[in-house]
């Protein structure tokens, strides 16, 4: 399944890499694409995403799940 997340606080390519890394560590996540311009992350996962875990990873990396 594919989920599109809105993420606040990303300002540069480093942020994109940090968010991609954070999201790729969530269980079941197979592919992550972060778009800086729109502030979104497209996540492909093998099953339903644990949104609590997603939020935790993003916040730990220093960003905010909108
Ligand atoms: Cu940055």
Strands (DSSP E) found in 1-66? 2-8, 29-35, 40-45, 64-65
The domains of the chain are located at 2-65
pTM of the model: 0.94
Rounded CA-CA distance 44/33 in Å is: 9
Ligand 1: centre distance to CA 14 (Å): 4
Class of residue 1 by CB neighbours under 10 A (exposed 0-12, middle 13-18, buried 19+): exposed
Ligand 1: centre distance to CA 27 (Å): 25
**For 7-34, what is each residue's pLDDT tens digit?**
999 999 999 999 999 999 999 999 999 9
* Measured distance between the N- and C-terminal CA atoms of the chain, rounded to whole angstroms: 20
**For 2-13, what is each residue's pLDDT tens digit?**
999 999 999 999
Q: How far is CA 32 from the centre of its chain?
A: 7
2-65: CATH number: 3.30.70.100
């Amino acid at each position: 399944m594919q989920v599109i997340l809105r993420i606040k606080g990303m300002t540069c390519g480093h942020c994109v890499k940090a968010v991609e890394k954070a999201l790729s560590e969530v269980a079941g996540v197979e592919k992550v694409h972060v778009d800086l311009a729109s502030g979104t992350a497209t996540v492909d996962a093998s099953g339903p995403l644990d949104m609590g875990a997603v939020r935790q990873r993003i916040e730990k990396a220093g960003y905010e799940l909108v």
